[in-house]
Amino acid sequence: MIASVCPDISTFGSRISKSLKEQLSAKIVCANVVATEGMSDTKYKPILDSYENLGVNVGETHRNSKGLSIFNAVHADLIFGWSHKKN
């Protein structure tokens, strides 16, 4: 069963560092902006760069279109899961 393989998402946050949480939050926000505003995936890295210029910890990885695809997939999976829990 998948539940035994995948940890509960609510406990995941308590097991990662504050720095990684900041990086993930910045990338999720950026991916959300790109997706909801209908921007090209080429805008993802420049937006992360501008966040970094403002002092946001965005990390060094997943700063390209493949990184954006990962965060879009996570969003899609969460939305799908939430929509099916409500029904």
Q: How far apart are CA 69 and CA 74, in angstroms?
A: 9
The predicted pLDDT at position 4 comes to 45
Does 1 map to a domain? no
Number of domains in the chain: 1
pTM of model > 0.75? no
Q: How far apart are CA 60 and CA 69, in angstroms?
A: 16
Does 41 map to a domain? yes
Find the mean pLDDT for residues 14-30: 87
Does 72 map to a domain? yes
Closest by CA position to 29, among listed 66, 72, 61: 72
Closest by CA position to 42, among listed 65, 22, 18, 73: 65
Does 82 map to a domain? yes
The predicted pLDDT at position 28 comes to 87
* Parent domain of 44: 16-86
What 8-state DSSP symbol labels residue 38? T
Does 6 map to a domain? no
- Which two three-digit tokens encode residue 47? 């937006």
